[in-house]
Structure 1
Amino acid sequence: MEGVDKTFGATVALSGAHLRVEAGEVRALIGENGAGKSTLMRILSGVESADSGTIRIAGELFSPANPQQAREGGIAMVHQELAVVEDLTVEENLLLGREPSRCGVFLPNRMREQIISSLALLGRKDIQPSTPVSRLSVAGRQLVEIARALVHDSSVIVFDEPTSSLGLQDIEHLFEVIDRLRKDGRAVVYISHFLEEVQSVADTWTVLRDGEVVGEGLISETSTEDLVSQMIGRRLEEMYPYVPRSRG
């Protein structure tokens, strides 16, 4: 994404924003509430249209007019509010939007192979094609959404605050799955307010502030304090200067 502008009336949501993520990379997209993260991702996923700017997937111009076009173009979103259907099985959820056609464009056997390989990547033996989604925990349902992205052969997977409802063990397992996605050559965008998580799971980072990209770099070369400073526009010691106590 390059040079993305978006306004809502007199409000500037994005101004010249850019985001680049390579295959096999996990890029953290961070910023305070209202920084423009959600708007940028809504444009990528076809929910909103940009006033100006470009999107390229594998070097090709990409302009999704709606979420369906974005999904067909290889963009998958894993939201805080999970979009699985509880009354269906895991397999039925994975096939939503990609049911076998009568013309045989998608062969059932091939789709079944995709489902099995996608579920295997999750590393959870309790999540099988025939498992009712209603029996799964929040973490399990989130994994079903990830598997659906794989079944749809998504090249870019966006995680929006994925750990907000998870316990520590489930968070650790999610990070293992994201690492497998990285090794599988997927491009991952990871949005989170928890900077310790960002330091654990991401390779690179981009900070949005007031609709503009104000910094980006390698996680391995950046401290949590540096990320906070990028987000708020000043260093922590400027906000909370050291004042020595007097020994009165």
Structure 2
Amino acid sequence: MSLHPTVLTDAEAVGDAVAEMVLDRLRSTAGDRFLLGCPGGRTAAPTYRALARHAAAGADLSRLVIVMMDEYIVTGDDGTLRRVDPELSYSCLGFARRHILGPIADASHAAGIAAPTEVWVPDPADPEAYEEQIEAAGGIDLFLLASGASDGHIAFNQPGTARTSRSHVTQLGEATRRDNMGTFPEFTSLDMVPTHGVTVGIDTIAACSREVVMIVSGEHKQDAFARIAAADAYEADWPATIAVECKSPTLVADRAAAGQ
């Protein structure tokens, strides 16, 4: 099944539209928690800003659980794998606290309403536990997705990743690492970018989500838009094409990404 894209004016318009989707699903879903799958980086940043604006206007986002897709890892002196320090700007956990949960919580408190408190991130020492945590919570209610510009990676799933893959530790390819140099300007040389990460798998995204929204913004994402819009099944050389095999998929892009 190929996706029919919704094309909006610019990245901010995309962010506004996706935030409205999040609010709509949140209001129509019962339960103590609403699991929102979130990428780090630039793509979904307008959506996160829009959610904070809604919180400032009184929208109740207290049930949100921010479920991050991945995290950079390092090897400790004892040989164990661990997440990078969340105080580092490129930490996905740190990104979630500073740019997703934090602004929403601050806006909620200012509006006098309850704020969300939870951020989940996979543990490189036990990736399988992330699967269990997500499944025990009933799955991800809405998963926001993003595609690598140059190689189609999704989360840290590299080209060639098996369709059946679940949460795992992976080596990051040069294209993925170069993409992240654009996201984090303090990476002034490739050797500064971590070489490994822990990530949800391709099948994690497809099997553990009720609905997905693939967000594609910017002229540099035209190849990504073309590949995802044309796909009718998962293509391992462009892992972001998994969106077409997910339940209730939506592709939202801005005019720059769509080449309009």
TM-score (norm 2): 0.33
Report the TM-score when normalising by structure 1.
Answer: 0.35
Higher RCO structure, 1 or 2 (CA under 8 Å, sep 6+): 1
Larger radius of gyration: 1
